[in-house]
């Protein structure tokens, strides 16, 4: 961003600032609770082979969200309460916090999509390119970046939901509708977590409200933290491709056992692939 732009100032009514940061504080409180639940469940259960990376990602996002909130209250008490104009240079770090949190969140969602599609790199090739393209200097044009983020998350959500929906149909045809309900539950988790952020960004783009702007860093951290919580609690769906192949070839697929929200398909070959949702 050019120096002349950074030196420009703006003045927002005190009431707007107060309501905006109260809303951000509410989102931050939700994020803290989710992070605590995620950390405890990951450390205690160790349900994912990548639990350390997930824990580190959650801690980094919480740290950035905390820094964003502190900066916001500093601006509120130092400038807004005294009816002083705020320069873009002062709020510039908030864009950095948002973009960094968003990149971490996108990487987590990309990894989830990669696992859901059976580690097929072709599926995530275009989203990876889009992530790299939107993580460069162009992020400084905030409106364009937010729109690209909205499109990116919407596409990934559709990819994952459609994949698990297809899996549920195959499971229903071979192993029965009761077991397929577990895959529908996984689909609901993905759609709900992806929809939260997509709807929020959509509203922010078209309503252009400061209250929504200040909450971007928090909301972008909440969605992947919800995913981490699901993984930490052991809410996973295991790929049934090997079981399906044995069933179609006439082999006995063994027993299909559902425990809570975790699905395990047991076969005589004992070949299963874990897919975290």
Of 33-37, 41-45, 138-142, 193-197, least confident by mean pLDDT is 138-142
CATH class name, domain 3-275:
mainly alpha
Contact 39, 118 (CB under 8 A): no
User: What's the pLDDT score for residue 9?
Assistant: 61
Nearest-CA neighbor of 163 among 89, 237, 66? Answer: 237
User: What's the pLDDT score for residue 70?
Assistant: 94
For the chain, what percent of residues have pLDDT higher than 70?
66
Nearest-CA neighbor of 145 among 155, 156, 133, 154? Answer: 133
pLDDT tens per residue, range 225-257: 887 887 777 655 444 444 445 444 544 444 444
273 φ/ψ angles, rounded to the nearest 5 degrees: -125, 130
Q: What is the DSSP letter of 269?
A: S
E strands within 79-189? Answer: 86-87
* CA–CA separation, 250 and 39 (whole Å): 44
Band of pLDDT at residue 65, cut at 50, 70 and 90: very high
pLDDT tens per residue, range 71-101: 989 988 888 787 887 877 888 888 889 888 9
E strands within the chain? Answer: 9-10, 86-87, 237-239, 256-259, 262-265, 273-275
User: What's the pLDDT score for residue 147?
Assistant: 78
Question: Residue 33: is its pLDDT beyond 90?
Answer: yes
Residues composing the chain: 277
Contact 253, 267 (CB under 8 A): yes
State the first-to-last Cα distance of the chain, in angstroms, to the nearest integer.
38
Band of pLDDT at residue 69, cut at 50, 70 and 90: very high
Band of pLDDT at residue 36, cut at 50, 70 and 90: very high
* CA–CA separation, 219 and 146 (whole Å): 13
The mean pLDDT value of the chain amounts to 74
* CA–CA separation, 203 and 180 (whole Å): 34
Cα 239–chain centre separation = 22
How many angstroms separate the Cα of 224 from the Cα of each of 31, 86, 176, 251?
10, 32, 32, 39
Structural domain boundaries of the chain?
3-275
């Amino acid at each position: 961003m050019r120096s002349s732009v950074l030196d420009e100032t703006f003045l927002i009514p005190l009431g707007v600032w107060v309501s905006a940061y109260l809303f951000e504080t509410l989102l931050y409180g939700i994020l803290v609770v989710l992070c605590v639940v995620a950390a405890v469940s990951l450390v205690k259960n160790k349900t994912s082979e990548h639990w350390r990376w997930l824990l580190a990602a959650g801690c980094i996002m919480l740290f950035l969200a905390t820094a964003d909130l502190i900066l916001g209250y500093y601006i509120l008490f130092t400038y807004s309460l005294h009816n002083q104009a705020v320069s873009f240079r002062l709020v510039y770090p908030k864009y950095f916090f948002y973009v960094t949190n968003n990149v971490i969140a996108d990487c987590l969602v990309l990894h989830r999509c990669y696992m859901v599609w059976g580690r097929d790199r072709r599926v995530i090739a275009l989203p990876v390119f889009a992530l790299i393209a939107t993580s460069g200097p162009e992020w400084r044009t905030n409106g364009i970046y937010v729109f690209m983020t909205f499109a990116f998350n919407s596409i990934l959500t559709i990819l994952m939901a459609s994949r698990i929906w297809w899996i549920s149909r195959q499971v229903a045809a071979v192993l029965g509708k009761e077991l397929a309900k577990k895959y529908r539950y996984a689909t609901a988790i993905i759609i709900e977590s992806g929809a939260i952020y997509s709807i929020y960004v959509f509203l922010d783009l078209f309503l252009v409200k400061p209250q929504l702007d200040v909450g971007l860093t928090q909301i972008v951290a909440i969605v992947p933290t919800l995913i981490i919580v699901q993984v930490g609690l052991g809410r996973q769906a295991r790929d049934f491709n090997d079981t399906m192949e044995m069933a179609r070839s006439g082999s006995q697929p063994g027993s299909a056992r559902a425990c809570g929200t975790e699905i395990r398909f047991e076969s005589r070959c004992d070949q299963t692939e874990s897919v975290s949702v």
